Structure 1
Amino acid sequence: MKVALVMGTSAGGTGRHVHDLVAGLVTAGHEVVVLAPAGELAQFEIAQTGAATVELSVADRPHPKRDAGAVALLREVCAGADVVHAHGARVGALTALALAGLGVPLVVTLHNASPGGGLAGRVHAVLERVVARRADLVLGVSADIVETQRRLGARRAELAVIAAPPPPEATRDRYAVRHDLGVAPRTLLLVTVARLAPQKDLDLLVDAMAQLLERHDLDVVAVVAGDGPHRERLQARIDALGVPIRLLGQRGDVPDLIAAADAVVSTARWEGQPVGLQEALHSGAAIVATDAGGTGAVLGDAAILVPVGDPTSMARALADVLLHGAVRDDLRSRAIGRAGELPDGEDALEAALTAYDSVL
């Protein structure tokens, strides 16, 4: 089978998924070409999979001249494919336009929901409509994306199968990690792994911690591994409220942090199939998370889920976990069990091939 895969700019998860999918397809004997920006081709080592690569000039924002060139290139390269698989709303829409009249089946995987209001939200809504109306099959990483595509009139919209990351390996024991962080052995430690950006809603963590400590006399500290545009504003709120939250910046020892935690916390407004929480499952962590996007589908019953944007519910859930060792132990046991149920690379490859066969 001749398969063309198309990818735009990627922050990480999409690129890793495409790399693994391409590697699996090549190993299975399929002829694969990947069209993506030069940076993504290099970052995710696409050429090393054995697939052919074509540099595609696309960016996050519309650019009429550049986008017209991308459509022309997509049409030229993809014309001889048996199936085309695009990843993301923007390149999905451009690919749909490129394939018009060629009769080449198009599968689009949507990895992110709409960013909400404003110009970005309006542009994303247009891209979603183009994908819904022109793709032969749309795969969404969460049920809300699938439902949106069905509402927009997609011929077929189904849940995507994304392989879970390999189990992370901690390199230090929890006491060494806590010592390096300056956290006493008996201090309760919460760990959040997130970009400091609106989607992750770390204000919720700040507000929940403030409520938690108003109601309970706890020796607890939360650390956040990650960086982003909201760092200064978030630090100002932490300082103003005097809550024990430390912004660690980018870290190369996230598995160590997770293994040292009494609980792992996610406050996101939306997630697809969150890699960090899958890693936390593999680590056997007690998890408290917002029921955002595909989070609940990933975690199953192996976490305490709270409504998005609700600091009172988050504070109550954190209190339940931190005050009761039996609750933590139960969640840890459930996490290990749930980790064994997550899809792997073979599952993702099989699902992709089934999707391709269904549109041929």
Structure 2
Amino acid sequence: MSSIQTPVPGPLRAVQVLGATAAAHVCSLAGGLAARGVEVTVCGPAEVMDAYGMCGTGARFAPVETAAPPGPRTDAMAVAALRSACAGADVVHAHGLRAGLLTSLALPRMRRPALVVTWHGGKQSGGARSAMTRLLERRVARTATVVLGASSDLVDRVRALGARDVRLAPLSFPAPRTEADRPAEDTERMHRKIREELGAADRPLIVAVGRLEPDQGHGLLLDAALRWRALDPQPLVAVAGEGRRRQALQRRIDAEELPVRLLGRRDDLADLLTAADLVVLAGRGGAHPLIAQEALYAGAPLVATASGGLPELVGEAAVLVPDKDADALAGAVASLIADPGRRERLSAAGRVQAASWPTEDDMVAQVLSVYDELASRRP
């Protein structure tokens, strides 16, 4: 008597699609999923994958120019490459608006895999560009099977765009290496060396980190630095990062004799943050700005603009000021510089807040549960 055997399902097949942003998150997610037996393919720019060392995640890689400037030729090439990479997938997970748009165009109409889009946030422009962006957002939101919003404000925003299924899914990034295993005297020596190198041995050190690109808040930071010239001792503002605005920023620093140094790229950000008296984030943050997370992990007092998902991320563990208000930013920093006790309390609160964030395991488990749910619906 013969019996009918139920086919044993193979491993879940998931494709991750990223553009120029969210690479750290995708690297963490891909590694966690692969460790749980998921067959993971990551699609994105080769240079982004190389920069984040994704070769060690256990995933397969398919170079796709998802970060190239929009255009008929580049878009068509990216869509064709994604269509090939996504063939046979159970779930396709795009990160960000452009990645979501290209992926929605690449997936077939018949027997298409579930499409998950993580909404990481970002600045909204004005005018005609804003109208076009909103049209693209609406298309992606309504095409996705599930949208994962990285913060509550993004969940509300995407729901208003007409998404069918929107869920809160806070991002998680690996905690930076700590100094726990380093002798205290070595840590102190390292901090002293950094401050002497920067010229801040006997003056407050303010650190800012970010790409030197338009709309990243550097103009506001320099406006505030102009006010800090009157402080005694005069603080030094050290800006780590590189980008197209470097020359323009340097010209203004020189012309106004601002107490600001552009450091370029740094490989010692963890030490730089812990050596600082405080960290400033002057630009509009996305859902979970990485530098804000790194500052709180490091116990560095943080002053930032109250925008995006930052209030939800930091809680009471940072000083938040109105967006685009140089006077408020300058005043908050000056007040903290004059109050070491408050800086110590913020440092301790930052570490407590960081310990409350979802871990990598939490994040991977939540995403995997969404994948399993969507895969089980497929015929």
Which secondary structure does the structure 1 equivalent of 2:346 belong to?
Answer: helix
1:56 to 46, 52, 64: 64
For structure 2, the residue ranges without an aligned partner over 5 or more in a row are: 1-10, 180-186
Q: Does 1:210 align with 2:226?
A: yes
For structure 1, the residue ranges without an aligned partner over 5 or more in a row are: none
Are the structure 2 counterparts of residues 176 and 268 from structure 1 closer, same or farther at C-alpha, using a change threshold of 3 Å? same
Q: Give the drift of 1:32.
A: 2.0
CA contact (8 A) 1:83 1:356 kept: yes
CA distance in 2, matches of 1:46, 1:177: 30
CA distance in 2, matches of 1:107, 1:283: 33
CA contact (8 A) 1:174 1:259 kept: yes
1:225 maps to amino acid = A
Q: Give the drift of 1:67.
A: 2.4
1:179 corresponding residue in structure 2: 196
2:217 corresponding residue in structure 1: 201
Q: Does 1:245 align with 2:253?
A: no
Q: Give the drift of 1:119.
A: 6.8
Q: Give the drift of 1:318.
A: 0.8
2:23 corresponding residue in structure 1: 15
1:224 corresponding residue in structure 2: 239
Give the stretch that moved more between structures: 237-246 or 252-261: 237-246
Q: Give the drift of 1:139.
A: 1.6
CA distance in 1, matches of 2:45, 2:268: 29
Once the two structures are superposed, residues 19-77 of structure 1 have per-residue CA deviations (whole angstroms, 9 ceiling, x without a partner) of 22111111111222222233334444444433233332433322323423433443344
Once the two structures are superposed, residues 300-332 of structure 1 have per-residue CA deviations (whole angstroms, 9 ceiling, x without a partner) of 111100011101111121122011112111111
Give the stretch that moved more between structures: 27-36 or 303-312: 27-36
CA contact (8 A) 2:151 2:170 kept: no
Find the structure with the greater CA-based Rg: 2
2:27 maps to amino acid = H
Q: Give the drift of 1:110.
A: 2.4
Q: Give the drift of 1:159.
A: 2.9
- Once the two structures are superposed, the pairs formed by residues 341-360 of structure 1 within 5 Å of their partners are 341-360=356-375
The TM-score with structure 1 as length reference comes to 0.90
Are the structure 2 counterparts of residues 252 and 103 from structure 1 closer, same or farther at C-alpha, using a change threshold of 3 Å? closer
CA distance in 2, matches of 1:184, 1:72: 55
CA distance in 2, matches of 1:9, 1:349: 20
- Once the two structures are superposed, the pairs formed by residues 1-360 of structure 1 within 5 Å of their partners are 1-11=11-21, 14-99=22-107, 100-117=109-126, 121-169=130-178, 172-185=189-202, 187-214=203-230, 216-360=231-375
Q: Give the drift of 1:348.
A: 1.3
Are the structure 2 counterparts of residues 119 and 50 from structure 1 closer, same or farther at C-alpha, using a change threshold of 3 Å? farther
CA distance in 1, matches of 2:192, 2:127: 46
Which secondary structure does the structure 2 equivalent of 1:191 belong to?
Answer: strand
Are the structure 2 counterparts of residues 222 and 65 from structure 1 closer, same or farther at C-alpha, using a change threshold of 3 Å? closer
Give the stretch that moved more between structures: 45-54 or 271-280: 45-54
CA contact (8 A) 1:164 1:342 kept: no
CA contact (8 A) 2:28 2:174 kept: no
Q: Give the drift of 1:143.
A: 3.4
Q: Give the drift of 1:114.
A: 4.3
Once the two structures are superposed, residues 194-213 of structure 1 have per-residue CA deviations (whole angstroms, 9 ceiling, x without a partner) of 21122321111111222344
2:61 maps to amino acid = T
Q: Give the drift of 1:249.
A: 1.4
The TM-score with structure 2 as length reference comes to 0.86
2:184 corresponding residue in structure 1: none
Which secondary structure does the structure 1 equivalent of 2:206 belong to?
Answer: strand
CA distance in 1, matches of 2:66, 2:112: 24
Give the stretch that moved more between structures: 50-59 or 104-113: 50-59
1:209 maps to amino acid = A
1:199 maps to amino acid = D
How many residues are matched?
356
CA distance in 2, matches of 1:124, 1:196: 23
Which secondary structure does the structure 1 equivalent of 2:67 belong to?
Answer: coil
Q: How big is the alpha-carbon RMSD for the aligned residues of Structure 1 and Structure 2?
A: 2.3
2:206 maps to amino acid = L
Which secondary structure does the structure 2 equivalent of 1:272 belong to?
Answer: coil
Are the structure 2 counterparts of residues 178 and 154 from structure 1 closer, same or farther at C-alpha, using a change threshold of 3 Å? same
CA contact (8 A) 1:143 1:159 kept: yes
